[in-house]
Amino acid sequence: MLGYYLDLALRSLKRNKALTALMVLAIALGIGASMTTLTVLHVLSGDPLPGKSGKLFYPQLDPQDMDGYKPQGEPPAQVGWIDGMALLHAKRARYQALMTGGAVPIQPAQSAIEPFFENARYTSADFFAMFDVPFLYGHGWNAADDEAGARVAVLTRELNDKLFGGKDSTGQTLRMDDVAFRIVGVLDSWRPTPHFYDLMTGSYSADEGVFVPLTTATDLKFAHNGSTDCWGKGFSDNMKTATCTWLQFWVQLDTPAEAAAYREYLLNYSREQQALGRFQRPPNVRLRDVMGWLDYNKVVPSDVRLQVWLAFGFLLVCLVNTVGLMLAKFLRRAAELGVRRALGASRRSLFAQLLVEAGAVGLVGGTGGLLLALAGLWLVRRQPSDYAALAHLDLPMLLATFAFAVVATLLAGLLPAWRACLIPPALQLKSN
């Protein structure tokens, strides 16, 4: 029966090509605009580590002086060297990683490649295991390398392709800022979105090309990117003793009980430091998981959410126009529908037939909307924003485009189909 209804729908659509084209165009424009903005929102607000983000937490402490103190105000978004190292060495979590971002000058061994600057991540050994970072070749360094300030490095696949033509470069030497580093690993493709583990260098910024131990980078005074917040004596050349927060710290806590215990540990640590005179403010800690940290920082740009609402408003206008066009189309077929009723067709079967026709319009309109969405995303990628390059249509959004178009058109067709089925068949037969 569905095949018969579909055949009738196609015949009807061909008979009224102009009206059909207007309905398809209205649906395509509405779906194209809404799916473009919805895809951008989907990309920007997604879970960067599905299945694990609920186990990763971002601890915060308040080591500042009393200047500007507000009871239970938000602690600093980062930690200083002394506190970061204390939390790192305490090993109260399954994994813990202390880190910051930077940029290093790369001096390739190949004369054909000019020296260049590359974004870098200065971190500790657990970074790779905690964030499930995939390796193409080799592995990360270990805690002993952190303690020794070893001159080892891990490259991304892209940087390895650029410098070594994609070959296994583990064991090779890479010079950065006139210092020789031994390559111990090469990452496979990996770019969590948003850039959750360091929002200070950009929520959707390009990822780092090289990873080195934090202790090594600090000893060699590699350039630091991101935010630095100081108080008291403030900034100094020795960031290990400066009263500043400039590092990010993450821990993996596998159960709610572990998270509660770690929060209590942060409070006890704060009380201990207050007793020693390092902390002046009362204990004030936070422990948010990945999604909580992203929500708190309002990572998704407000203009993107506004664009989604505007696009759906435009879709609603398109659907209202489609309702009017369908109503006109179905009522013009009153004589045909009346004959079918007189021959024994029920209102339910006529209603189903007209909805199949509406669904066919939605399917064709969805195809047009998909093409418009792809064009819209191409335009988004031309914009000078840090998230522009991420605007791509994945498989779930591709399927959602067609599903959304068909469902929206079926909803738009309910009223016209119902009105058309209410016309008494005797009236049409008498007029004929």
**Closest-CA residue to 173 (of 198, 155, 190, 189):** 155
Name every residue whose Cβ is closer than 8 Å to that of residue 317 and which is 6 or more positions away in sequence. Answer: 30
> Cα–Cα distance between 396 and 99 in angstroms, integer?
34
Instruction: Look at residue 2 in the predicted model and tell me its pLDDT.
Output: 58
- Neighbouring-strand partners of residue 121: 101, 211
Instruction: Look at residue 125 in the predicted model and tell me its pLDDT.
Output: 97
> Cα–Cα distance between 365 and 30 in angstroms, integer?
9
Residue 327 structure tokens: 């109503």
Instruction: Look at residue 358 in the predicted model and tell me its pLDDT.
Output: 81
Instruction: Look at residue 388 in the predicted model and tell me its pLDDT.
Output: 73
- Neighbouring-strand partners of residue 116: 106
Q: What does DSSP assign to residue 173?
A: E
Name every residue whose Cβ is closer than 8 Å to that of residue 85 and which is 6 or more positions away in sequence. Answer: 98
Residue 334: CB atoms within 10 Å? 16
**Number of C-alpha atoms within 13 angstroms, CB side, residue 30?**
27
Could you read off the pLDDT tens digit of each residue along the chain, which spans 432 residues? 656 556 655 666 667 777 778 888 888 898 889 888 888 888 788 888 998 999 999 999 999 988 888 888 899 999 999 999 999 999 999 999 999 999 999 999 887 889 999 999 999 999 999 999 999 999 999 999 999 999 999 999 999 999 999 999 999 999 999 999 999 999 999 988 888 999 887 777 767 999 999 999 999 999 888 888 998 876 667 888 888 999 999 999 999 999 999 999 999 999 999 999 999 999 999 999 999 999 998 887 777 888 888 888 888 888 888 888 887 777 776 666 666 666 666 777 777 777 887 888 888 888 888 898 888 888 888 877 777 777 788 788 888 888 888 888 888 888 877 877 776 665 555 555
Name every residue whose Cβ is closer than 8 Å to that of residue 177 and which is 6 or more positions away in sequence. Answer: 104, 105, 220, 222
- pTM as predicted: 0.79
**Closest-CA residue to 300 (of 232, 226, 203):** 203
**Number of C-alpha atoms within 13 angstroms, CB side, residue 252?**
16
> Cα–Cα distance between 403 and 372 in angstroms, integer?
16
Residue 23's Cα: distance from chain center in Å?
Answer: 34
- Neighbouring-strand partners of residue 187: 135
Contact 112, 163 (CB under 8 A): no
Instruction: Look at residue 87 in the predicted model and tell me its pLDDT.
Output: 97
